[in-house]
Chain A
């Protein structure tokens, strides 16, 4: 799994609430049987017309905005459990997603792929959107070790929560299977006793 420690990057702002995984990657693109290549269809129907022409008003088609951090409104990743959503975001070059609220399954899927979901307060989220409104190149610094996110320009900082186990997985690039496989004897004992 991809490691995550620290990054400083401009952001791509998507100030919409309740972005569901059908928007992130529509079902018709779930026919692939590998994990790669979903990035080109990330936000497909918001990003492209039916004739595949880019929609000029969508933020990912605006060259002013770029970066490894996607910033979105609350309840990001709701709906379908498709992990393809996390793969698509990562495949499109993002390493972290910031929102004031994440849907559970998306959050778990992101963590399992080394894509860091960062939950901030509504107020801090508004500050980020403001900063980017004022200066599209406004950068964020994400520090996983210290669990902080900072708006570089203003110095405004907030800390975020992450399960300590998942944090160490991200920093070291471990995944859950490595962890559980080490407990195989316990699993066998559990089955015996059942």
Chain B
């Protein structure tokens, strides 16, 4: 019987399937961090259970860590306690921890791929909704709650109903100044912040196949922003080339064996998806969000849709969002002054993102009215950026290169955007208060963020690229 890629991987991991019950799904790799694990470790203690497969569990500290002076004790007491708790729990339960000071530390969804932990055909979970990032390798990867973290600790399995499948094809060539972030913001704007709920999405088509692994991660990362459990892309030569030689990637005979299996990981030609959507890459412009959910996005030259044009029962929520942002409906964002630019998060903090920004800002300088933070996704990304001299370019441009962590994406540490201020952010969520109480977030690509940093206002990056 022909199967979709999701079905192939899912079926290979079902321990038990029984009518009327969710499947018992085996989890190959469990990633954990300091915020969603302590209550799960506590649960194990209460039940008197060990971590069942500690060697399939990897921990890092990312959500709640400072991005300056990481080697000094964390100043904020609750944050320090939470990070210390992770260290203690990992030691007690025998889990490998890449904590602060470790050369592998970083955002959990950045380090998994760069260490060769994320591999095609795997099932992977983490108590974080952006776990969908790892789907870029052709893995089933999804975010879970803390009760489920405890389940995986205790059994290396999860009770899960098989998801519906959706295929999203993007064909054709992207225009100048348009990248992976624009593709995914475009798709979310088209199908809404709830349009993927209940589905696992497979991204396909020539525009997706042409993307690098890091760009594919940006796409899969934001699957959750349309409600999908996860998103994935069939592995190909780009995937294999990226993985080969990484720290924990299979090597030698193991590599050959793995590769042979990975090459079977694609949706069969006549496999049935529950839903199929097709988009043309040429229709996609640099995107920007204007509201308070990631579905409220538009091409940067467009006008904010009119409140009057919204469905009747959505008008109130829609206007509330515009009021929060301080924007008028039916207006353009071009030329609006911005206060902060944040380049980071599990969506866009990898070396290619930093290279793209550095390449753009070389010999330019940030506008005086803007504070620019660049937060690399991991210690390895930070080191690589320095090896390539990107730090010098950022410094000359007045951009601050900080240390790795989730940072201003969720404002859990001290990296918060002040109330009322506008931040063009390469992160994934523009919810009210996400980057700090009453902060106003505009999601965009690294290039569009860099353009705002240089001009101090919302700018169509294509105008600057043409001048170059």
Contacts and interface: CB of A to CB of B under 8 A. Distances in A.
A28 B129 contact: no
Given A31-B78, A180-B24, A187 B155 contact: yes
Given A20-B431, A177-B150, A28 B82 contact: no
Nearest to B40: A83
Contacts of B438: 45
A33 B42 CA distance: 9
Given A34-B42, A35-B39, A79-B129, A86 B197 contact: no
A104 B412 contact: no
B22 interface: yes
Interface in B424-468: 429, 431-434, 437-438
B79 interface: yes
A78 B156 contact: no
Interface stretch (A5-13, A53-61, A107-115, A150-158): A107-115
B396 interface: no
Interface centre among A101, A109, A113, A187 (most CB of B within 10 A): A187
A74 to B, nearest CB: 7
Interface in A63-118: 73-75, 78-84, 86, 101, 103-105, 108-109, 112-113
B251 to A, nearest CB: 20
B15 interface: yes
Given A31-B82, A81-B127, A179-B159, A109 B147 contact: yes
A132 to B, nearest CB: 16
Contact of A103 (B20, B146, B197, B411): B197
A161 interface: no
A34 B39 contact: yes
Given A22-B431, A23-B432, A103-B194, A176 B145 contact: no
Interface residues of B, number: 64
Given A34-B42, A86-B145, A26 B36 contact: no
B21 A103 contact: no
Contacts of A26: 433, 437
B372 to A, nearest CB: 22
Interface centre among B22, B79, B145 (most CB of A within 10 A): B145
Contact of A105 (B39, B78, B143): B143
A183 interface: yes
B431 A187 contact: no
A28 B411 contact: yes
A176 to B, nearest CB: 5
Interface in B39-61: 39, 42-43, 47
B207 interface: no
A131 to B, nearest CB: 16
Nearest to A113: B147
Interface string B104-145: 000000000000000000000001110000000000000111
Contacts of B16: 183, 186
B262 to A, nearest CB: 16
Interface string B282-325: 00000000000101000000000000000001101100100000
Interface string B386-412: 000000000000000000000000111
B78 A32 contact: yes
A186 B15 contact: yes
Given A75-B193, A179-B159, A31 B79 contact: yes
Interface of B: 15-16, 20-22, 24, 26, 35-36, 38-39, 42-43, 47, 63-64, 78-79, 81-82, 85, 127-129, 143-148, 150-151, 154-159, 161, 193-194, 197-198, 224, 227, 229, 293, 295, 313-314, 316-317, 320, 410-412, 419, 429, 431-434, 437-438
Interface of A: 15-18, 20, 22-23, 26-28, 30-35, 45, 50, 73-75, 78-84, 86, 101, 103-105, 108-109, 112-113, 122, 126, 163-165, 175-177, 179-181, 183-184, 186-187, 190-191, 194
